[in-house]
Amino acid sequence: MLDIVYGKKTNPIAVEAIVNILRSQDWQGTLYVGYPVFGGEDSNSVTDALLTCIEHGVVVFDLSSQDSIDVPEEMDTVVKARQRDLLRRLNSRLVAYEDLVKDDGVTLAIPLQVVTYLPYAVTTADVPNTVTEETLLGWITRQPALEAKYFVPLNAAVQKTAALKPKKKRLNVKKDDSMGATMKFLDSQIANLDRWQKNAAIESPEGPQRIRGLAGSGKTIILALKAAYLHSNDPDADIVVTFNTRSLYQQFKTLIRRFYFDLVFDEPNWEKLRILHAWGSETDPGVYSTIAAAAKTSPVPFGIARHRFGFPAAFAGVCTELVTHIRRSDFTPIFDYMLIDEAQDFPPSFFQLAYLSTKPPKRIVWAYDELQNLSDSTMPTLDQLFGTNEDGTPVIDVQNEEGQPKKDILLPICYRNPPWLLSMALGLGLGIKRENREFAQMFKEPEFWGEIGFEPVEGTLALGEPARLRRAADRSAPFFAERLEPSESVTWKSFESAQEQADWIATDINRALTLQELDANDILIVIPDMINASSIGLLLSEALKKFNIKSHLVGVTGTRDAVFAEQSVAMSGIFRAKGNEAPLVYVVNAEYCENGSFELSRRRNILFTSLTRAKAWVRVCGVGSRMKILAAEMDAIARDGFELAFQYPTMRELEKIKTSYRERTTKERQAVKKEIKSAERLLQRILSGEIDLDELPPQLADLLRKGVR
């Protein structure tokens, strides 16, 4: 079956007729409507429709010339000019790709066909290559087939995925079996967008659009390509791209610039296409601060918001205040399009702010990770995010309609992580191999496993029953298994001291750089323990210096707006690492994520996210007895062949898990801090002799005497 992708429709009636004819054809290929975009000296233009398929090659549709049908004496000239222009533009675009030209290097190897679609046959003019609804299918079936070797590079050229090819040429790779050679192979495999990614990148409904998928399914890339496409189609529109992780700024700017240049050979107008952090700062505007300025009110700085609302609720609080202000004022929306990445990280009040600040028909696109937080596997509902009408219905709708651009798109395939690595990350994140079945967290609805691409090895999933799950073959990229072995891709190691850990990591990184042909910016060190990140990073940095390897701690000794730097190994806490990826990832002091504490679920979420930063290899390292506990869990998952085998909790057990290891509220954290300070003061007074142990309650005195000994 053909994939049909709806971009900008120049002639909706003609498009509908063509789609109805071609939809049922059993051809391998894609019908692109309103795509690709061609750059011009004065303005950009879009192809009315383009068919690429194995069976009948490349067909360019002219749907615009029928405007001249009422003037037969001019029609011949108009149609020929339009057909010639379409062929010239498409040929000039495709001939730039080495894989699509003949041996002379200048002649396109693929025959291009062009056809003008008319509402009825014209006999009063000599018009070449014209069809009607009745003759279209017959005309296409007479066109020559496409040589199979050109199919992938052709679609890469049409979809602009050539811009996805890494700039890094890896010229230092000389050995076929090195890690560098493996990455060179893996990077070369992402040639075409899959059918879901095509829909997400090109289709833009007249209204909101939701894009969801696992980490590594291409959401950030899709939003960058969509931003470039929208900007090329509508250069006067005010478009904003926003996100939560500051280090995504440079990634978005680089991707959008590359995509846009590949579309129209020009630099984006950064005054119309803005890349803004969701909040902003005193020096850099963000979406929140920009909207506040437009609403003629002062944005609240983070420091004040933190004290007013508490650290976790600071952004939600300021957004709620601004929403209230806007609803009480005469506010005019300022954005034509808003594209939101990392939507799972934002409070509902931010979405309500997006709704109020975006012009009708509310072209808001939000992409979110269905598994960023394992303890809460679902996003808030549409009415919770955007609000409701007076009758209680959500103010927005994302129901897909036949023949229209999709409003709700699921990206099912994970291209970042090998399937065994994703399984290990999930197993650790949920704690399925913890002693006595003391799960850290678990999905309340067994069917959710299917939504994220896991299937039972046999039987069906049910609460309270044995479960054995594996990653479905069609939900992971197949090329990982061609170059990677699970036992080498995912490894773990326990150490007796932090120094021993740092020395081993530095030695292993040196091996990767000198013997395995990786570069310093292929490596990411993730530090789950944010409180001690600076001291951990310093120890690692000193160990790396012994091998003359440079390193930087993102946001401390390196810029906060970019994770990676040339000739330097990146070290980052999890919040700055989110949204980024690297071929080789080290998770250090992973024992932080196994402490049996009140907030075990939060720490296991950190561990899950840390592992899923890796594109090929991950090394989980830690110190002491708690790391040995974690290593035992990893051993058990590996023994199961990286399948997830466990006894599914009952509903009662699920409720117990939820309350046992939930994340503390701000109020609870403050109470704990207060109690700790009180205990510290008491101990200081005991040690200084101000208070005698005999003055304390007997049980407390006995505990302290044991501690003193």
Question: pLDDT tens digits, residue range 588-632?
Answer: 999 999 986 668 999 999 999 999 999 999 999 999 999 999 999
In 10 A of CB 636, how many CB atoms? 15
**Would you give the DSSP letter of residue 592?**
G
Give φ, ψ of 363 to 5 degrees.
Answer: -80, 80
Cβ-proximal residues to 156 (8 Å cutoff; 6+ apart), any chain: 97, 162, 191, 192
The stretch 144-157 carries a mean pLDDT of: 93
Asked if residue 671 has pLDDT above 60, the reply is: no
* CA torsion angle 353 354 355 359 (round to 10): 120
Give φ, ψ of 647 to 5 degrees.
Answer: -90, 115
- Residue 620, strand partner residues: 492, 587
Whole-number average pLDDT of the chain:
90
**Spatial separation of the C-alpha atoms in residues 491 and 424, rounded to whole Å:** 10
- Residue 52, strand partner residues: 30, 58
In 10 A of CB 671, how many CB atoms? 12
Asked if residue 707 has pLDDT above 60, the reply is: no
Of the two residues 162 and 28, the one the predictor is more confident about is: 28
pLDDT tier, 131 (very low <50, low <70, confident <90, very high otherwise): very high
Of the two residues 1 and 479, the one the predictor is more confident about is: 479
Asked if residue 664 has pLDDT above 60, the reply is: no
**Spatial separation of the C-alpha atoms in residues 132 and 358, rounded to whole Å:** 40
Cβ-proximal residues to 359 (8 Å cutoff; 6+ apart), any chain: 333, 334, 335, 336
Cβ-proximal residues to 345 (8 Å cutoff; 6+ apart), any chain: 244, 245, 372
Strands 454-456 and 490-495: unpaired
Q: Is 57 within 8 Å of 144 (Cβ atoms)?
A: yes
**Spatial separation of the C-alpha atoms in residues 547 and 515, rounded to whole Å:** 14
Q: Is 34 within 8 Å of 20 (Cβ atoms)?
A: no
Q: Looking at residue 661, what is its pLDDT? A: 60
Asked if residue 660 has pLDDT above 60, the reply is: yes
CA distances, 395 to each of 345, 358, 380, 388, 417 (Å): 21, 13, 14, 5, 36
Residues in the chain: 709
The number of CA neighbours under 13 Å toward the Cβ of 482 is 13
Peptide bond into 361 cis (omega under 30): yes
Question: Which stretches of 49-154 are assigned E, i.e. beta strand?
Answer: 49-53, 57-62, 112-117, 130-131
**Would you give the DSSP letter of residue 68?**
G
User: Picking from 62-76, 295-309, 430-444, 691-705, which range would have the lowest pLDDT averaged per residue?
Assistant: 691-705
Asked if residue 684 has pLDDT above 80, the reply is: no
Asked if residue 389 has pLDDT above 80, the reply is: yes
Helix 600-611 to helix 419-430 angle, to the nearest 10 degrees?
170
